[in-house]
């Protein structure tokens, strides 16, 4: 499945990844090759196979609805670049 340069730019934008213009064609080729490899699996009949959601053949353990976490805001906030009045501050987001 061929991936165009504009597909690469779209995916890069969604992932917030910067791609240099001169890299575009190489990345497009690499991604196309990867998808071609995956596509070769379409030749296999998977009609009776349940799609795998997880490599482990186990089911999700559950936890009881109990409060187990201590309140440690001040500690966690020492790692943040900017906080005020208990809030994390980020560059202005316009809605």
Partner 1 sequence: MNNGWEAVIGLEIHAQLATRSKIFSGAPTAFGAEPNRQACLIDLGFPGVLPILNAKALRMAVMFGLAIGARIAPRSIFARKNYFYPDLPKGYQISQYELPVVEGGAIDIEIEDGSTRSIGITRAHLEEDAGKSLHDAFPGRTGIDLNRAGVPLLEIVSEPDMRSPAEAVAFMRSVHALVRHLGICDGNMQEGSFRCDANISVRRVGDERLGTRTELKNINSFRFVERAATGEIERQIDLLEGGGVVIQQTRLYDARSDTTRAMRSKEEANDYRYFPDPDLLPVRITPSDIDRIRAALPELPAARKKRLVDTYDLDEKDAGRLTTDPSVADYYEAILKAGRFQTGPAKLTANWILGELTAALHREDRDILDCPIPASSFATLIARIDDGTLSGKMAKTVFDAMWAGEGEPDDIIEARGLAQISDSNALEALADKVIEDYPEQVSQYLSGKEKVFGFLVGQVMKASRGQADPKRINEILRRKLSDASE
Enumerate binding residues for partner 1 (CB under 8 A). 10, 14, 16, 51, 53-54, 56, 58-69, 71-73, 76-77, 82, 84-95
d(CA 44, CA 80): 49
Q: Is 83 helix (H, G, I), strand (E, B) or coil?
A: strand
CB of 9 to partner 1, least distance (A): 13
d(CA 52, CA 65): 29
Longest dimension (CA), the chain: 59
CB of 65 to partner 1, least distance (A): 4
Q: Quick one: 22 or 58, whose CB is closer to partner 1?
A: 58
CB of 22 to partner 1, least distance (A): 26
Q: Are 39 and 3 in contact (CB under 8 A)?
A: no
Two structure tokens written together for 43: 């030749």
Q: Quick one: 45 or 61, whose CB is closer to partner 1?
A: 61
Q: Quick one: 10 or 36, whose CB is closer to partner 1?
A: 10
């Amino acid at each position: 499945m061929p991936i165009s340069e504009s597909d690469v730019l779209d995916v890069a934008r969604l992932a917030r990844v910067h791609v240099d213009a001169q890299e575009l064609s190489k990345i497009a080729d690499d991604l196309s090759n990867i998808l071609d490899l995956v596509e070769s699996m379409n030749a296999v009949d998977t009609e009776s196979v349940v799609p795998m959601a997880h490599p482990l053949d186990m089911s999700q353990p559950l936890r009881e609805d109990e409060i187990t976490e201590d309140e440690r805001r001040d500690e966690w906030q020492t790692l943040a670049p900017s906080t005020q009045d208990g809030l994390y501050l980020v560059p202005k987001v316009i809605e």
